[in-house]
Amino acid sequence: MSTSFTEIAYFVASLLFILGLRDLRSPETGRRGVRLAELAMLIAVSATLLHNHLVRYDWIIAGVLVGSVIGVAMALFIPMTKMPERIALSHSFGGLAAALVGVAEYSRQSATLGSGKMAALGFEVMLGAVTFTGSLIAFGKLQGLVAERPLTHRFQNPLNFILIGATVAAIGYLVLQPAQPALFYGMLGMSFLSGILLVLPIGGADMPVVISLLNSYAGLAAAATGFALSNSVLIVCGALDGASGFFLSIVMSKAMNRSFTNILFGAFGRENGNGREPARSAQKSLLGATIGDALVVLGNARSVIVVPGFGMAAAHAQHAVRELADLLEQRGCVVKYAVHPVAGRMPGHMNVLLAEANIPYDHLYDIDAINFEFAGTDVALVVGANDVVNPAAKHDPQSPIYGMPVLNAEEARTVIVLKRSMNPGFAKIENELFLRPNTMMLFGDARTTLVELAGRLREAGT
């Protein structure tokens, strides 16, 4: 197969990838977009397989078979609540693939590498390795294998800067003197270490930002592979992936009111912590309401806005939410959903879960579309959300999340908050919403509480 044929195939594939992404603008065209991207992948991979550099197919077939089995199994059996974990894992696979290709290229032709190619290889290996270990740590945190709270120490930022500086310096030296395997593998080791150290200090609530950033790094690693191999479709796809991660990082950073440099340079450990410090004042007593109280309020409500948070995913409560919403709607109540961009552990996490529970997507509202509606609403039902409904972000400059755009849940006539316990996990920001006179706290597992509410509401009839 001639090179020009491969080039044309790559060109067509690149265009199809972009058109496919464009279709993700709406849920109605989304699946067509996936088809286009699949077609593009098929074209690019087929063109590569027909390329005359390839002489042995046994290794390839083995890898493709094993990868397909694992990929299909992961896609079919992972529950939607575990999407952040799956995404983190696949970022790590992407990073590892890029790093390994880079290592193989280096080991094969280290002495003869030109400076341009060496630079590309260096960044490919560095970005790939950082993405690999960083994503593994992110996965560990999401899965609860690594402490979810931020693991910080005093020298963390200087140490990270020195480590990354040394890695880049090593690449610079290799560009001048490529034939130094010891330095190359040292650089690889430092990159692995950087990935671990960069993600360890980050708390669970910041995961949406981290996952977006790692998405971007994985893309850049692929693009660097493209530069190293002079491969157009790799460069295009890497740039697309990098742009997507960059875009999502910006969306997430805006939603948390954090500057982009703050995020890029790993200051998101937030040592003074986005409220990772203990509650400031002596805890006023939180009075738990009873299911009965909540039932009276919900039974009389004409309008309800549900505010989902990570707690809904943790309790797998999305179906219970819909069950309750259905009953409310049968009683003539209007139910809407207010989704904060950083609710959950990854961009769009809540939307996917609510969609899984068959809630039509036109009932899901972004913060800007719904925030003015709380004031005229009977009940704000907060299901496992915390920071995103903390009014302190609006008026208390002392609050660690001051300035972050939050949902105005407190403006609803009554706020019902479903919360696991008085003092859960690491998120120790005092939330004054919970202390307000119009707030009812229902402690316990969100799903159990919702199922009970729905059951009693059904008994009560219409």
Partner 1 sequence: MSEWIFWLYIFAFAGLVGYLVISGVPPLLHTPLMSTTNAISGISLVGSLVTAGADYNLTSSLLGVVAVTCATINVVGGFLITDRMLKLFSKPGDRRL
Instruction: Decide: residue 77, CB within 10 A, 0-12 exposed, 13-18 middle, 19+ buried.
Output: exposed
In three-state secondary structure terms, 218 is helix
Smallest gap, in angstroms, from Cβ of residue 235 to partner 1?
A: 5
Strand partners, 308: 383
d(CA 344, CA 350): 6
Q: Quick check: 345 and 310 in contact, CB under 8 A?
A: yes
Token pair for residue 34? 């996936």
The SS3 assignment for 418 reads strand
Helical (H) or strand (E) element with 334: strand 334-339
The DSSP code for 345 is S
∠ Cα 90 315 270 (to 5°):
60
Minimum distance of partner 1 from residue 430's CB (angstroms): 28
Tokens of 335: 């139910």
Token pair in block for residue 434: 């919970």
Task: Please report how close the Cβ of residue 126 comes to partner 1 at its closest, in angstroms.
Answer: 15
Residue 387: active-site member: yes
Question: CB-wise, 215 or 377, nearer to partner 1?
Answer: 215
**CA 410: distance to chain centroid?**
27
* Shortest Å, Cβ 284 to partner 1: 35
Q: Shortest gap between Cβ of 198 and partner 1 (angstroms)?
A: 19
Closest to 133 in 3D by CA, of 218, 23, 55, 16: 218
Closest C-alpha among 209, 189, 75, 74 to residue 141? 209
Q: Which is nearer to partner 1, 295 or 352 (CB)?
A: 352
Q: Which of 206, 241, 387, 445 is catalytic?
A: 387
Question: Length of the chain in residues, anyone?
Answer: 462
- Cβ 342 to partner 1 shortest distance, Å: 10
Order of strands across the sheet with 364-366?
A: 364-366, 334-339, 303-308, 379-383, 414-419, 439-443
Q: Which helix (H) or strand (E) holds 310?
A: helix 310-314
Residue with tokens 């069950």: 323
Beta carbon nearer to partner 1, 339 or 417:
339
Which residue number, 76 or 282, has a Cβ lying nearer to partner 1? 76
Minimum Å gap between C-beta 12 and partner 1 is 14
How many CA atoms does the CB half-sphere of 121 hold within 13 Å?
Answer: 28
Give the nearest distance from C-beta 117 to partner 1 in angstroms.
10
For partner 1, the closer of residues 247 and 443 by Cβ is 247
* Tokens describing residue 307: 């505010």
Q: Work out how close the CB of 404 gets to partner 1 at its nearest, in angstroms, rounded to a whole number.
A: 16
Name the residue nearer to partner 1 (CB basis): 161 or 260. 260
What the block records as the tokens of 245 is 């991660």
**CB of 361 closer than 8 Å to CB of 325:** no
DSSP string, 400-424: TTTT-----GGGSSEEEEEES-SS-
> Are 241 and 216 a contacting pair, CB within 8 Å?
yes
Among candidate residues 124, 259, 118, the one with its CA nearest the CA of residue 181: 118
φ/ψ of residue 440, rounded to 5: -110, 125
179 secondary structure, DSSP code:
-
What is the set of active-site residues?
387
